[in-house]
Chains A and B, each alone.
Chain A
Amino acid sequence: MSNDLDNFVAISSALTGIAASKLRPSLDTHKTAQAYLDYATEHGGSAFTELMGLSPAEVLEAVANEPDGDIAIMANCVTLMWYLGAWYFPDGLLAYKQGSSSFAPSVVISSDAYTQGWAWKVGQAHPMGYSELRYGYWSGQPSTLSDLVGGE
């Protein structure tokens, strides 16, 4: 039987397209998955509890069937947490999604969350202000996308 963290990582991987082995690497120095699970449990309310009761496939189905529903918005929050290291408030995110607000309020979860944001890696780059690369790397090609996000 899978525990909460396994299920959270599986759901997160399905939503983000990032391999589970990248979201929770075997040498997990940042423990980002656990930190995000804890954060979402504290701030995500009943929608997050509900989401965690579903399988990854069921989450994707809920997102497709009812994109503005509570589950889908919470799924968006989880996706953005991984990509941007920030927690978007569900109400504000829904308003932004529906076009009634031009701004989606958020908080940066932590310094670690910022420097582990996946949007940068999906762009084959690194967070601004956090490069682990060496002088001159920018004059050559970056690592391949599949190297960075895992999977095929």
Chain B
Amino acid sequence: MADTNHFDVVIVGAGVSGALIAKQLGAAGKSVCILEAGIDYKDSAAEALQRFYTAQAKVPESPYTPAIVTPDAQGVQSPSNPSEHVIGRATTLTLGEDSWQNSNQAYMDQQGPLAFASTYERVGGGTGRHWLGTSLRFPPNDFKMKTVYGVEEDWPIDYDDLEDWYGKAEHEMGVSANAADQGYHDIGFPSGYSYPMPQILDSLVDDAVKAGISGLEPQEGIKLEVTNTPAARNSVPFQNRRQCAGNTNCIPICPIQAKWDPTVTLYEARQSPSVEIRFKSVASEIVVGEDNLVSSIKYLTYDTFDGGQTGSGEVTAERYIIAAHAIETPRLLLMSTNDGKTPNGVANSSGAVGKHLMDHPIYLSWAHTKDPVFGYRGPLSTSGIESMRDGAFRSKHAAFRIEIGNEGWNFPIGDPYTTTLDFVLGTNHSQLNDSGTAQQGKGLVTALNHALTRQFRLGFLVEQTPEDNCTVGLSATYKDRLGLPRPSITYDLSDYTKMGFVAAKKVSSNIYAAMGAKEFTKTITKEDADSDPTSFSVTYDANGAVVPEGTAGATTEYFQYFGAGHIVGTYRMGSDSTNSVVDKDQRSWDHQNLFLVGSGVFPTVATGNPTLTLAALALWAADTVLADLG
């Protein structure tokens, strides 16, 4: 009888990378076991939507499990205690001054000095369940920042290496875009290339920004242009899934699955009889044998989120792939000490595991247009300004892309709730009810309509540099209910990144002025920067060099940032085994049968949303593993 615990390949994590790789391997007839910490997506899809509808705070994590909130006797929801859950996860609800370091509310043991503001899911389908669908390629210069601009790092691969894999990923996931629009910053396509679907239609907000900035002076020598955003969202029926109906809810959940998410590919992967997914199976140790190869992966099982461990298992394979993204992957590597044989964790001879944690910290700004632009309609975002993702300025400050939001002021102030309360009660938290008048009847309808239909926002996704002091480690103090140490995080932003915020703010204000829109972006004060873990100050001189606060003639500005959900960089790829964790094939330098995939391999965060690139790299890794298996 065959050993039911031995496979050609074991994958940890049923997210974007795990799903794509499992499908490729299964189609080639290889036996695959995915260990997934969370529950089966088949059990949870309808419940997830109901959970979202009834959530008081509709944050990205709100539809998924384990529930991030617990209701009190009156039904008012507050953050759940992560130590009571077998699988904890972070939530954006616990980024406040009083909550970010409260272990009874926040899953991650945040050590600061700033808060890491992005979160992830531990559920079948992974964090891809709540992604936006943005599928941008990285411009060639993103891969060679050291060579071209003398900052950050070069990747061990370049755009040309990835070009074909990008195309394969776009077709596997189903991306809507017109290639002719996407060739900025020397992004290349093979002759005659076409995306699988035509672009998603632009929104009225996009049109307003496009018209408004047409006469805007170049910014740092760069002319700004609005570009339709490639998205893994159906502009026509595709893969037996419906056309996008503009639910304006890609994050946290598309109610009709017009957006690709990993469950689509997992479903296809499971059509292969050789692909098995073990849900509620939490990988707890990567076992390394005498030959320095990985010999098995141990895991713990549970029945209920608030119960404890109910069992355990161990699986063996020819090749092992860790696809648990950039926080849980280093956590697993670091937990795997093999009774002292690998005291610093698995795959960590370089000491780089857990280092260089990155995100695209977001500078968020918002404004009110003269004429209605009708937000809260269409996909969350349909266009962006990609013009400042590359340019000579990158030798001095961080680049950024600008995402145009279609959801009014939902992201900035939680609207329509805040403004509705203002006009009903006579308060002015939105700043749109200056007179402080409480309205009823037709007056309420008119005032609220005027307020809501003119709202829009811009999100500036600023490139964060890889730094040794931004880390994922193991908490010495806090554990989850399985008894495993929770992740501890240190996080900060470099001067280069902070100066990207200074540039973003300037560009933002210039865009609003060109549009004739009135800006309402919240002013951040010194007091905010001192107390809020997601705010900071930066002081710079006339040349744009960062100097100590109080320097004569210098300018100090204060900023708040938001997480983009782009968790990147904690087991980076490189060409030198002494300062990177995997090689260009995403193979561990230390253990030849171990692959680490996902955005954790990115040496830099680059200037685009990471999913398409990590998907392309996952398909590449699947190819390499297949070649290994022969």
Q: A79-B424, A145-B445 are in contact. Are A130 and B247 (CB under 8 A)?
A: yes
Q: Which chain B residues border A14 with CB–CB below 8 Å?
A: 440-441
| Interface class of chain B by DSSP | loop
A125 at the interface (CB under 8 A from B): yes
Count B interface residues, CB 8 Å: 59
Q: A17-B443, A60-B441, A145-B449 are in contact. Are A128 and B425 (CB under 8 A)?
A: no
CB closest residue in chain A, given B375? A125
B376 at the interface (CB under 8 A from A): yes
Tell me which residues from 343 to 378 in chain B have a Cβ below 8 Å from any Cβ of chain A. 372, 374-378
Q: Which chain B residues border A105 with CB–CB below 8 Å?
A: 74, 76
Chain B min CB distance to A39 (Å): 12
Structural contact, B426 and A135, CB atoms closer than 8 A: no
Q: A17-B444, A115-B53, A135-B235 are in contact. Are A97 and B374 (CB under 8 A)?
A: no
Give the CA-CA distance A97 to B245 in the complex, in Å.
37
Q: Which chain A residues border B443 with CB–CB below 8 Å?
A: 17
**Chain A residues within 8 Å of B, Cβ to Cβ:** 14-18, 60, 63, 67, 75-76, 79-80, 83-84, 86, 89, 93, 96-97, 99, 104-108, 110-111, 114-115, 119-120, 122-126, 128-131, 133-142, 145, 149, 151
Which of the listed residues B253, B407, B416 has the most CB atoms from chain A within 10 Å of its own CB? B416
Give the CA-CA distance A45 to B460 in the complex, in Å.
47
Q: A14-B440, A14-B441, A80-B420 are in contact. Are A138 and B425 (CB under 8 A)?
A: no
Q: Which chain A residues border B448 with CB–CB below 8 Å?
A: 119, 122-123
User: Contact partner of B440 among A60, A93, A107, A137, CB < 8 A?
Assistant: A60
Give the CA-CA distance A139 to B228 in the complex, in Å.
13
Structural contact, B375 and A86, CB atoms closer than 8 A: no
Q: Which chain B residues border A115 with CB–CB below 8 Å?
A: 53
B204 at the interface (CB under 8 A from A): yes
B27 at the interface (CB under 8 A from A): no
Chain B 238-269: CB-based contact to A (< 8 A → 1; otherwise 0) = 00000111111100010100000000000000
Structural contact, B376 and A123, CB atoms closer than 8 A: yes
Give the CA-CA distance A139 to B248 in the complex, in Å.
13
Chain B min CB distance to A116 (Å): 11
Structural contact, B416 and A119, CB atoms closer than 8 A: yes
Structural contact, A128 and B58, CB atoms closer than 8 A: yes
CB closest residue in chain B, given A112? B53
Structural contact, B427 and A18, CB atoms closer than 8 A: no
Which of the listed residues B53, B201, B202, B244 has the most CB atoms from chain A within 10 Å of its own CB? B53
Could you list some 15 contacts between A and B, CB below 8 A?
Answer: A17-B440, A17-B445, A83-B420, A93-B425, A104-B421, A107-B76, A114-B54, A119-B420, A123-B449, A125-B375, A126-B247, A131-B247, A135-B235, A138-B204, A139-B378
User: Contact partner of B377 among A80, A129, A138, CB < 8 A?
Assistant: A138
User: Contact partner of A96 among B379, B416, B425, B440, CB < 8 A?
Assistant: B425
Structural contact, A131 and B245, CB atoms closer than 8 A: yes
Structural contact, A79 and B374, CB atoms closer than 8 A: no
Q: A14-B440, A17-B444, A133-B245 are in contact. Are A89 and B74 (CB under 8 A)?
A: yes
B208 at the interface (CB under 8 A from A): no
12 further interface pairs, Cβ-Cβ under 8 Å (given A138-B203, A142-B374): A17-B442, A60-B440, A79-B444, A83-B420, A84-B420, A99-B427, A106-B56, A123-B448, A128-B248, A129-B53, A130-B247, A138-B201
Chain B min CB distance to A45 (Å): 13
B453 at the interface (CB under 8 A from A): yes
CB closest residue in chain A, given B236? A135
Structural contact, B410 and A136, CB atoms closer than 8 A: no
Q: A97-B427, A129-B253 are in contact. Are A120 and B441 (CB under 8 A)?
A: no
User: Contact partner of A83 among B204, B379, B410, B424, CB < 8 A?
Assistant: B424
Structural contact, B245 and A129, CB atoms closer than 8 A: no
CB closest residue in chain B, given A83? B420
Chain B min CB distance to A64 (Å): 8
Chain B 38-79: CB-based contact to A (< 8 A → 1; otherwise 0) = 000000000001101111101000000000000100111100
Structural contact, B248 and A135, CB atoms closer than 8 A: no
Q: Which chain A residues border B327 with CB–CB below 8 Å?
A: none
Give the CA-CA distance A122 to B253 in the complex, in Å.
24
Q: Which chain A residues border B80 with CB–CB below 8 Å?
A: none
Structural contact, A122 and B201, CB atoms closer than 8 A: no
B417 at the interface (CB under 8 A from A): yes
Chain B min CB distance to A124 (Å): 6
